[in-house]
Amino acid sequence: MTRRTVALDGALSEYLLQIGLTETPVMRELREFTATHRQAKMQIAPEQGQFLGWLAQLTGVRRYLEIGVFTGYSTLAVAQAMQADGTAVACDITPAFTDIAREYWQRAGVADRIELRLQAALDTLDALLAEGQADSFDLALIDADKPNYRAYFEACLKLVRRGGVIAIDNVFLSGRAMAPQPQDPPGVHLIHAFNAELVRDPRVRLCVLPMGDGMTLATRL
């Protein structure tokens, strides 16, 4: 027994998936395809996808905002678990990735629920606010370029309704966020500072999950 979270080595990580992972066939196919991609490590861990889908179903998500789509695994996990009339806005800038995403969303029968906006996510978030979509999202996931995380979070605080959840991926940065070194890229320093601010932010209630590369959940108060 331990009061600390158990570190997952390869074998225990496999066991976690063995006893816990339930994916639809299309999700499994997408994950297996993405594993062959040269940027495979960008995808969230399967247990994170499962958790986000579980959360979306539990809380009855109807509006989902995703910042960082890649091949669409996280989008699919949530889109499949949303309410029947649920819709998602998915932000990315790389059509070579999102072409793959669209193919799998179509195969899963959820493509018509997902509006993909292909431009810098900050422009999409500004556009959503200009369109009057403040306070309209139930759940958001921030999983794109790290230097913009703080700006994405501020925009999500306006776009997500009170009581809604903002999930922030990669808050550990493989451990580098803990003690950035001078030679680390600006994104590492930014995430370090952002993490330290977030835990004291009176606008949200926080929970950091040691899942994947670390995922913070912030409920908007």
Ligand X SMILES: C[S@@+](CC[C@H](N)C(=O)[O-])C[C@H]1O[C@@H](n2cnc3c(N)ncnc32)[C@H](O)[C@@H]1O
Q: Is the dihedral of CA 168, 208, 46, 175 positive or negative?
A: positive
Q: Considering only residues 157-216, where is the footprint of ligand X by CB under 6 A? A: none
Among 51, 64, 97, 149, binds ligand X (CB under 6 A): 97
* 121 vs 211, beta carbon nearer ligand X: 121
* 91 vs 198, beta carbon nearer ligand X: 91
**Residue 1 neighbours by CB under 8 Å, 6+ apart:** none
Total residues at interface with ligand X (CB under 6 A): 19
* 173 vs 204, beta carbon nearer ligand X: 173
Among 46, 68, 86, 187, binds ligand X (CB under 6 A): 68
Report in angstroms how near the CB of residue 186 gets to ligand X at its nearest: 14
* 64 vs 97, beta carbon nearer ligand X: 97
Nearest to 204 by CA among 148, 169, 160, 145: 160
Q: Which residues bind ligand X (CB under 6 A)?
A: 42-44, 68-71, 73-74, 91-94, 97, 120-121, 143-145
